[in-house]
Amino acid sequence: MEYLSLLKRKSKYTSVYNELLNIKQDNTKNIYISECAHNLSKLITSGLFKEKNQNIIYITSSIYEASRAYEILCDMIGTDFVSFFPVEEFVSLDLVASSSAFRLARMMTIANIVKNIPQVIVTNVEGVLKNVMSPSLLEKSVLSINKGDIYNISKLEKDLIIRGYKRCGVAETVGTFSKRGSIIDIYPLNETTSIRINFFDDEIESIKLIDL
């Protein structure tokens, strides 16, 4: 039995759900749900997404609740249709910068937005308040590299640093890169291992994943 079929058994919930379905596709609608069964808001969200196939932002009061909501919605809809946009709720001497896992989650969510991929975006209140670049600037910031391209190796280093990558001896963590002669190893945000770019003068001779 599908999750939503359970919801439709209750007439008072069905009337609310049908009202939400009548919201026009191009309209932005804020919906506040409180004092209900624990997963009812997630049931409604999953149903709306399946019916309307458009971006829905699911906002929680804390990053802990956002993490739980993300896991539950992934079970209901599937991991391909749910994104996580977590933002830390406090700053201390022990947490000056965002954790790498949270930065990666935010970057993957933004990438899906730029690609116009419909998704349920789960975030906390601080995530809604966080400033993000406009879509046009985000598209311009994407670094695309292909085999056979003419690309100065020194310029590639500068372009990586501008985008927040850190140079190190070995690129073994996300967001780092290393250089040895005509070879640059990069650990991109959207890969599970580093990639190796081999240059011949200013031409990119090969691009391959590194087998650890």
- Reduce the secondary structure of the chain to three states and give it as a string: CCHHHHHCCCHHHHHHHHHHHCCCCCCCCCCCCCCCCCCHHHHHHHHHHHHHCCCEEEEECCHHHHHHHHHHHHHHHCHHHEEEECCCCCCECCECCCCHHHHHHHHHHHHHHHCCCCCEEEEEHHHHHCCCCCHHHHHHHCCCCCCCCECCHHHHHHHHHHCCCEECCCCCCCCEEEEECCEEEECCCCCCCCEEEEEECCEEEEEEECCC
pLDDT in the model for residue 210: 87
pLDDT in the model for residue 31: 72
pLDDT in the model for residue 144: 86
pLDDT in the model for residue 94: 46
pLDDT in the model for residue 167: 93
Mean pLDDT of 54-77: 91
Rounded Cα distance between 90 and 212, Å, is: 36
pTM of the model: 0.71
pLDDT for residue 1 is more than 60: no
* Structure confidence at residue 151 as a pLDDT band (50, 70, 90): very high
Residue % of the chain over a pLDDT of 70: 78
Lowest mean pLDDT among 30-34, 87-91, 93-97, 157-161: 93-97
Mean pLDDT of 83-104: 69
The tokens for 54 are 């458009």
Looking at per-residue confidence, does 29 or 116 come out higher? Answer: 116
Which stretch, 128-132, 160-164, 194-198, has highest mean pLDDT?
Answer: 194-198
pLDDT for residue 25 is more than 80: no
| CA 179, chain centre distance (Å) | 28
CA dihedral sign of residues 58, 60, 63, 68: negative
Looking at per-residue confidence, does 163 or 208 come out higher? Answer: 208
pLDDT for residue 211 is more than 50: yes
* Structure confidence at residue 113 as a pLDDT band (50, 70, 90): confident
